[in-house]
Every structure is written in structure tokens, then in C-alpha cells.
Amino acid sequence: MTKWVIGIIGGSGLYAIDGLEDRREEPGLTAWGAPSDTLVRGRIGKVEFVFLPRHGQGHRLTPTDVPYRANIAALKAAGCTDVLSISACGSLQEQYAPGDFVAVDQFIDRTFAREKTFFGPGMVAHVSMAQPVCGRLSGLAAEAVAAVGGKVHLGGSYLAMEGPQFSSLAESRLYRSWGCHVIGMTNMPEAKLAREAELPYATLAMVTDYDCWRAETEAVTVTNVLEVMLQNSALARRAIVHLAGVLNETPRTPSPQGIESCLDFALITAPDARDPEFLDKLQVIAGRALGS
């Protein structure tokens, strides 16, 4: 496949992208329900984009209430070849300053109140999450941020917490001791579900604050987050336009990690034990691997 169709999941502060031509809206209803909002499809040059605000327009949904399965299923059904998540986050390390971007390459999932898989009784699968992001897409996104004047860190571990409350001081110190770099509330189970859907996934985390571990900085509040988030979001929109220009000149090739065929090594339920009704539900996600 040589055509890019990029799904953009916009996090806090990013509710639209700039420069879309042939803009149109699609409902995106799936077997897992409706996504967070209407999908917005368009193109920048030859590259097609499908935009979805993770929290809905007006930021209606808490991190726990985001319909993660419906969001990924809707992007898969829309023909997306790759998914780029743009997410606000807090910093757990001094060198990751507010206003910086982080091209995340690892996750620790501390969420507990969310559906984390498309699979289940009647069709069990275990995908590898050893390398949870697509290195190719992550690198291109990071280069785009740098090209429009942003400071971006290549690599970093993202601690996904349940929220919606911010961390306690003890939690923040614990996550720092684990070697985590940033903390957020939304990239899990999103990254896991994208892998199950065989969608190369990358995260650009926009640092809005130092988490509460930093004694010389006041504890994080929505007010100080919003101030930095407005600046980050404007830069992120410019980076997407720049990324489109690069992709216009870059034919798409399969991800280096073989993400588009990862289900070949993940399906474990014997064919005669599979639930036909559940298999029908899985067609959008796993139809290629299920042989239909």
C-alpha cells in the first residue's frame, strides 16, 4: 500500500486540524458504539486525514468515559492506515519542560476502569506490546514538530493513569522512581487497541506542566495547564500540516515492526471453538487475519 490515510486523535486542546481540503463529516458508528465525536475527513495535498477529537467537541468526555474501542474501530473502518495521537501530558523529569513535545516510545498502563481489548470469549488473541509505537510514524511526527520550531524529545515512557484527578505527591514520586518521563490519562488502552486493529500508532505528548513532584513549582491545576496547552496546540496544528507535506513526497511502506500483520501471531482460539456471532463483530478489526 502506498497511500497514506492518517487518523489523528486530538487530545485536550486539539479539537480541529488546519488546512483540510474537501472537508466532510462522517458519523463513524461501529459495533462498539459511537466514537467520541463525528469523524472529520479531508486531505492536505495528496494525503488523506481523518480527525477525531478524543474528548468530543467542547471536551465532554472524561478520560475514563472516552469510547476507546469505538474510536479505534471507527478509524479502522474509515480506511486509516496509521494513527497519530496528540495528547497533553505532565512531566515527570526536569528536562521535559512545559511547552516541549515527547515522541513517546513506551507505556506503563495503570488504568483500571476501561475495556482494553476487542477480543474476548469466543475469540481470544494476545498481541505483542513490546514495541508499542510505530518507530517510522513516530520519527516523522517528531521531525515535523522540530521543523515548525518546537522542541521535541525522541523517546520517553508514558505513565497512563486512570484520572480524572491529578496525581498525589506520593504517586508522582513513585512514577519518577520507575523512570517514567511523562504522565497522562488517555493513551491507554488506545495504543493497545490500535495494535489489535493492526494500525501503526504513535504519540506526540505535549507537556503542559510539571507533575506535583517538583517542589519549586506549584501543583498542577487546570488553569496553568490551559495556558501552556493553547501554545502547544497551535504548534501541533502547524506540525500536522508540515507532516502532510513530508508524506506527500513519501510513499507509504509497511511499518518496520510488521504491525499490519501482527494478528497472524496473536489468534489463539481454535477454529472450531470460535463464536461465529463474535467473529462477525470482529470483521472490521480482524477480518484480514480471520480469513474474510
pLDDT the model gives residue 222: 63
Q: Which three cell numbers stand for residue 108?
A: 506503563
Active site positions, annotated: 209, 211
CATH for 5-290, among 1.20.120.450, 3.30.565.10, 3.40.50.300, 3.40.50.1580? 3.40.50.1580
pLDDT the model gives residue 220: 61
pLDDT the model gives residue 225: 67
pLDDT the model gives residue 165: 95
The Cα–Cα gap between 93 and 41 comes to: 37
pLDDT the model gives residue 19: 86
* Beta carbons within 10 angstroms of residue 27's beta carbon: 11
Sequence-distant (≥ 6) Cβ neighbours of residue 190 within 8 angstroms:
9, 68, 71, 72, 85, 201
pLDDT the model gives residue 126: 98
Q: Which three cell numbers stand for residue 231?
A: 501554545
Domain spans in the chain, listed from the N-terminal domain onward: 5-290
Q: Are strands 82-91 and 182-184 parallel, antiparallel or unpaired?
A: antiparallel
pLDDT the model gives residue 168: 95
Q: Which helix (H) or strand (E) holds 83?
A: strand 82-91
pLDDT the model gives residue 2: 72
pTM score: 0.95
The Cα–Cα gap between 198 and 282 comes to: 13
Which residues in the chain show pLDDT less than 50? Answer: none
**Inter-axis angle of helices 283-290 and 68-77, nearest 10:** 60
